[in-house]
Amino acid sequence: MTFEQLRLDGVARSFGTANALSGLDLAIARGEFVALLGPSGCGKSTALNCLAGLLPLTGGSIWLDDVRIDGQPPEQRGFGMVFQNYALFPHMSVRANIGFGLKMRKVARADARRRVDEALRLVQLTDHAAKFPAQLSGGQQQRVAIARAVVLEPPVVLMDEPLSNLDAKLRLEMRMEIRRLHQTLGLTTVYVTHDQEEALSLADRLVVLRDGTVQQIGTPEEVYAQPVNSYVASFMGYRNLLDVTVTGATGSSVTVEGAGARLTGHGLLTEGPAQVAIRPEDFVVGDGTENALDVTVEIVEYHGRELSVSARLASGVPVYFRTDKRLAPGDITRIGVPAERVLVFEP
């Protein structure tokens, strides 16, 4: 089945009086990889289950081009689903698990066999086709779950934190695997995760959620470099969030004071309380940079090429930065950050 656009129009879902999802507007183009990102409880699974047809909406509508689908049962939508816990049939072989949906759809034996073989090859499990799920590693089980979803050539594949039960190394491998499958099969994928790095690396577009409401929709570059508020910023690794006061503004540049420091940044222009967000990577150690701050180094963590440093301003406020300079606890050093990397938000 082909389509141009999957559209969520004010999709809402409440449980009793609590809104798990309120008014989600989102248009997903065919072939796009969209990630729903946010902390536990923000409504990601609710949104995905509404898309799949596993949860009825309490408001809004869902459209595949000009066909309204939110009244359709899951099997009629035919979206592929991949869950965190794999949900494989334990008593069926890998081959039978992958072929199950084709059998249900009464696809002819020879055709089904060819498609299962192709899916096995895609997820590199050809040699394990006769095994049972319990005989496979977590990563292999997850690959079976993915093969089972894509073998049906669904219009849309929905994935709910599919990698969160895997160890770090396997997570990286499977991440590339998922992106590769998305590209080679020309899938349309909606992917749920609480892991910003996973979302940034996989998706064409991110939807950042908080308490069931959209905070920002944008490309990884946009959300990473221009978060719209301090919530999205902190989620995107702007680890330094300082409470400050806006004391002046000229053009697009803002002066803020707080924590015993005075900084120039950009963003919120109205005088009064504000919050400043700075990424640890955006600080530079040494004299002669903008926004100079003198800090005392407290904790140094080794990260290969770089050190991750926790330090304090004279006011006692903590500051985090990264550097390739060999600093040690107790060192007093000057750091600075370009004004364009100092984001000023409403508190």
Ligand X SMILES: Nc1ncnc2c1ncn2[C@@H]1O[C@H](COP(=O)(O)OP(=O)(O)O)[C@@H](O)[C@H]1O
* Binding partner selected for residue 42 from ligand X, Mg ion, none, CB under the kind-specific 5 to 8 Å limit: ligand X
2 vs 40, beta carbon nearer ligand X: 40
For tokens 């008014």, what's the residue? 23
* Binding partner selected for residue 15 from ligand X, Mg ion, none, CB under the kind-specific 5 to 8 Å limit: ligand X
CB of 17 to Mg ion, least distance (A): 21
CA dist 159 to 66, 310, 315, Å?
24, 36, 46
19 vs 230, beta carbon nearer ligand X: 19
CB of 12 to ligand X, least distance (A): 12
In this structure, are residues 242 and 61 in contact, taking their beta carbons and an 8 Å threshold?
no
Q: What are the beta bridge partners of residue 265?
A: 254
Q: What is the 3-state secondary structure (H, E, C) of 230-247?
A: HHHHHHCCCCEEEEEEEE
Quote the CA–CA distance of 83 and 161 in Å, as a whole number. Answer: 7
20 vs 244, beta carbon nearer ligand X: 20
45 vs 188, beta carbon nearer ligand X: 45
Quote the CA–CA distance of 285 and 123 in Å, as a whole number. Answer: 45
45 vs 240, beta carbon nearer Mg ion: 45
Show the tokens assigned to 269: 């222009």
Site string for Mg ion, 132-151 (x = CB under 5 A): --------------------
CB of 32 to Mg ion, least distance (A): 21
CA dist 170 to 121, 125, 162, 270, 345, Å?
19, 15, 12, 47, 37
* Binding partner selected for residue 46 from Mg ion, ligand X, none, CB under the kind-specific 5 to 8 Å limit: ligand X
15 vs 89, beta carbon nearer ligand X: 15
191 vs 345, beta carbon nearer ligand X: 191
Alpha carbon 210 to chain centroid, angstroms? 13
CB of 239 to Mg ion, least distance (A): 25
* Binding partner selected for residue 89 from Mg ion, ligand X, none, CB under the kind-specific 5 to 8 Å limit: none
Looking only at Cα atoms, what is the longest distance across the chain?
74
Site string for Mg ion, 37-76 (x = CB under 5 A): --------x-------------------------------
CB of 231 to ligand X, least distance (A): 14
* Binding partner selected for residue 82 from Mg ion, ligand X, none, CB under the kind-specific 5 to 8 Å limit: none
* Binding partner selected for residue 338 from Mg ion, ligand X, none, CB under the kind-specific 5 to 8 Å limit: none
Quote the CA–CA distance of 205 and 198 in Å, as a whole number. Answer: 12
As a whole number of Å, the CA-based R_g of the chain is: 24
CB of 40 to Mg ion, least distance (A): 7
Quote the CA–CA distance of 133 and 140 in Å, as a whole number. Answer: 8
Binding residues with Mg ion: total (CB under 5 A): 1
Please give the order of strands across the beta sheet that includes 5-15. Answer: 18-29, 5-15, 59-64, 67-68
* Binding partner selected for residue 229 from ligand X, Mg ion, none, CB under the kind-specific 5 to 8 Å limit: none
CB of 84 to ligand X, least distance (A): 10
In the chain, which residue ranges form alpha helices assigned H by DSSP?
A: 44-52, 74-77, 94-104, 109-122, 138-150, 168-185, 196-202, 220-225, 230-235
CB of 45 to Mg ion, least distance (A): 3
Which residues are near ligand X by CB under 6 A? 15, 20, 38, 40-46
CA dist 223 to 10, 82, 141, 151, 266, Å?
22, 26, 32, 33, 16
CB of 163 to ligand X, least distance (A): 15
42 vs 144, beta carbon nearer ligand X: 42
Quote the CA–CA distance of 145 and 184 in Å, as a whole number. Answer: 18
Contact residues: Mg ion, CB under 5 A: 45
